[in-house]
A and B are shown apart, each in its own frame.
Chain A
């Protein structure tokens, strides 16, 4: 897709021997990956393969699962996210996340976007920020006349784009997306896919998807997970055309999963 982007780019996020446990059960087995700046990385695999768990360990959202335990390292801009010096709260303002189901706050559209920057002490022009973020999320045209309506009045697809807009408003380096289209209809899915290809110009995106075609369409690199192991990774085109592992091929051609 965009081979030029993945050449000479610096690595923004890197995991080293990352293991995640839920109680006694190991959900992720010693995963190593490197994500280059300005690319879209797709995590694929059958459901329950640990791809969401893995994603949530990249901005320490697993901290909220009381039984979860992470060991290994995640480097973001050279710092280990799991070292004691890193404040997960600060970290999450730089690595944003879009969830599987749209989860707008029970507030107005406008406040959904301004809340993040506001608590983080943003002092610039809020109206401009809202406009910018909504435009980047391709939602501006649909909501510009009703910014103060409740976010719940929007359709599912619009809500999901609002959640993307609110993440963009923080101007993060990396956006993690956890099956962002799984609860949406085909047209909204199309809209969000367009958006992702648009957004990668300025953000690095790591997206979990169970939709093979989607991964093929939007990502530069693909990572195939199975039962908590990273089976194969590489250039998306290569993974989809000539995977080197039999299991990957079986999965991509729909023989299981």
Chain B
């Protein structure tokens, strides 16, 4: 604690009262220059990033926009660029979107509820959490290898929509869990206490109070995760989704293709026209994804307004 003696002696020892400032005026100009240069550096970096994004978007639009016609949406792919379309790919993507969401969302949200509301504070729960973190960072192509062996070969789903969607569901599951956990965590403890104080059972507190309060946050995370699945290519290639499909899938047992695979296929052809087709398909894919993103951002901003 304070030592009065200490401070008294210090005054005697170091008793000068004049104010010599430690500030070196000569260095001031240099410091100001560095400060300004660094600010400019940060600013130009941001600008560079924005310009890159603009170039990316403009380049794709310029290359692809002239190929966007009604036929492009209603035709199947073809060896002739003029006749090629994305009917099969877009239908496939829609199927995958619905199926993946149907598999992954209930599982992911339940797992998040378990971890946040029910799990005991034990070592094994911590390990599960670490495991989920690692799964979220596992390369998508490894999910493809798992899907190939489990769904395509062992369970004999062949190269079907079912196999593809299950693979993608596994891929997005950890992301959905983590983002839902964040949303549930953000619900204040006081809400739970208030519900318990009214005599609610645990499941009533969780499902009637906490979950509705966390819903906008969960939804935001879910939408972003599913949009990730829509853009995935590699795991579907690994499980054997086809690139030349001239039919629309009628059931979950049918073979399929999706937009990203169609894009990959066209982009890897040498002819310029197919590159332009790829750009056109990218426009469609990006419009779909950006719409989902905007929805998520809108939901979050609305949610933030009601944040407790």
List residues of chain A with CB under 8 Å of any chain B CB: 87, 89-90, 93-94, 116-117, 119-124, 129, 132, 135-136, 138, 140-142, 157, 161, 169-171, 173, 187-188, 190-192, 194-195, 198, 201-202
Contact = CB atoms under 8 A, between A and B. Distances in A.
B197 interface: no
Contacts of B6: 135, 138, 140-141
A10 to B, nearest CB: 13
Contacts of A192: 2
21 contacts: A89-B35, A93-B21, A93-B22, A93-B23, A117-B22, A121-B24, A121-B27, A122-B24, A123-B24, A124-B22, A135-B13, A138-B6, A138-B10, A141-B6, A142-B3, A170-B23, A171-B21, A194-B4, A194-B7, A195-B2, A201-B11
Nearest to A187: B1
B23 A194 contact: no
A120 B20 CA distance: 13
B2 A120 contact: no
Contacts of A202: 17, 19
Contacts of A124: 22
Given A132-B14, A135-B10, A94 B21 contact: yes
Interface of B: 1-4, 6-11, 13-14, 17, 19-24, 26-28, 31-32, 35
A173 B17 CA distance: 11
A164 to B, nearest CB: 11
B20 A171 contact: yes
> Shortest 8 CB-CB distances between A and B: which pairs?
A191-B2, A121-B24, A135-B10, A121-B27, A138-B7, A122-B22, A117-B22, A120-B23
A206 B188 CA distance: 39
A161 B1 CA distance: 10
Contacts of B28: 87, 90, 121
Contacts, number: 85
Given A119-B31, A121-B27, A201-B11, A171 B2 contact: no
A90 B1 CA distance: 34
Contacts of B13: 135
Contacts of A129: 22
Nearest to B2: A191
A90 B20 CA distance: 15
Given A120-B22, A121-B24, A140-B6, 4 more contacts: A94-B23, A142-B3, A170-B22, A198-B11
Contacts of B2: 138, 161, 187-188, 190-192, 194-195
Contacts of B26: 121
Contacts of A132: 10, 14
What DSSP secondary structure best describes chain A's contact surface? helix
Nearest to B10: A135
A122 B1 CA distance: 30
Nearest to B26: A121
B23 A141 contact: no
B14 A136 contact: yes
Nearest to A123: B24
Given A120-B24, A121-B24, A195-B7, A188 B14 contact: no
Contact of A188 (B1, B8, B35): B1
Given A121-B26, A195-B2, A136 B7 contact: yes
Given A136-B14, A187-B1, A171 B19 contact: yes
A157 B11 CA distance: 21
B28 to A, nearest CB: 7
Contact of A135 (B1, B14, B27): B14
A129 B21 CA distance: 12
A116 B21 CA distance: 12
A121 B23 contact: yes
B14 A191 contact: no
A124 B24 CA distance: 11
Contacts of B31: 119, 121
A120 B32 CA distance: 11
A173 B19 contact: yes
Contacts of B21: 93-94, 170-171
Nearest to A124: B22
Contacts of B22: 93, 116-117, 120, 122, 124, 129, 169-171
A136 B8 CA distance: 9
Contacts of A198: 7-8, 11
Contacts of A90: 23, 28
Nearest to B14: A132
Nearest to A136: B10
B3 A138 contact: yes
A93 B17 CA distance: 18
Nearest to B27: A121
Residue among A119, A120, A129 with most chain B CB within 10 A:
A120
A10 B271 CA distance: 85
A121 B9 CA distance: 29
A44 to B, nearest CB: 24
B2 to A, nearest CB: 3
A198 B6 CA distance: 11
A170 B218 CA distance: 50
